[in-house]
Amino acid sequence: MSSPFTFVSDFDGVWTNPRRELQAVHQTVQTNLRRMCGWSQEQLEEVYGYFREQVLQRPHQHGWRIDGTFSSFVDEDYFAVPRKRLLSTEYLARRAREVERDRASDSANVVPGLKGRESEETTHYVVVDASGNVVSSTTTLNGSFGSCLVAKGTGILLNNEMDDFSVRPGTPNLYGLVGGVANQVEAGKRMLSSMTPTIVLRDGRPVLAVGSPGGSTIITTVFQVLIGVLDEGLPLDRAVGRSRFHHQWLPDTLFLERGGSYPSGWKESLQRRGHRVEIRSPIGNVQAVSIDIESGRRSGVSDPRGSGRSAGVDTGQVEKKSGK
């Protein structure tokens, strides 16, 4: 009878090289680790602060776990830890500069230093082929990990679009949107959705395809890009890259992007008129392609706010490789 247990003898040891991280600390704090016993109080505080900022921040996304009462490493064979970036001189120096030398910093304010934040659970892509066929597709899980159910045998997570119904009229959903009776749950009924994959036609021919993730901000994001291109005549990259704003009725707040470029005094002017203005993280992550009807030229733009990119394929090379 086989044992249901796995014994220690079944595992192989794996050698790691922790010295690289010690060397990185040495480079960052400009202190010789071999003279640890001779460190000044200032140096000790600097290294302690660095350890808390650089090391304890990693559990959130880089392979450690922190509950406030315990911490543990995870197996890097199962979790991708971006060692090269974490140990780069530039990253370590930047994190070290965040350590306050004259006072203890609040551990609750220590956040991950690498920008690995997921988007708002939605993905958009645009494809235009050599024949002029266009796809503008927005796909979503809605919330993190969707409904937390996987379709058997596929590895595909199912979404939780049921959140887009008004579970109870007047009660906000995941994105703060407040619905009414018209959107309440009923058998066979389609729930509302803010997803706005868009294809613009001129004389029956596509000239622009655009869309974005962003939950309740999708509609305002796409709308502002369309206005920029179609009404203001902006180049697609400028229309996509310029600062955005968002309002969704409730909460009664006008959102502006942190670091956005807005007209001088605009925020203050809005506040004087009674608007509640709040600064937030980037709004949307547009992917778009414009098509020149005369030349057939395609111009793809991926929002600088995100990590996507635009790319073209030489169809001649593809046909050559495929033997066609």
Catalytic residues: 122
Three-state SS for 187? coil
CA distances for 281 relative to 87, 110, 214, 263, angstroms: 27, 18, 11, 19
**Residues contacting 267, CB < 8 A, separation 6+:** 256, 277
Residue with tokens 């990119």: 309
CA-wise closest residue to 113 among 240, 28, 17, 20: 28
Picking from 221, 210, 305, 225, the residue whose alpha carbon sits closest to that of residue 255 is 221
Task: State the Cα–Cα distance between residues 123 and 309, nearest whole angstrom.
Answer: 13
**What is the CB neighbour count within 10 angstroms for residue 258?**
10
> If you ran DSSP here, which 8-state letter would residue 231 be given?
I
- Diameter of the chain measured on Cα atoms: 79
- In order, the DSSP letters of 22-89 are HHHHHHHHT--GGGGGG--HHHHHHHHHHIIIIITTGGGTSSEEE-SS-EEE--TTTS---HHHHT-H
Cis, peptide link before residue 251, omega less than 30° from 0? yes
120: DSSP letter = S
One-letter amino acid at 282 equals: P
> What SS3 state is found at 279?
strand
d(CA 288, CA 53): 38
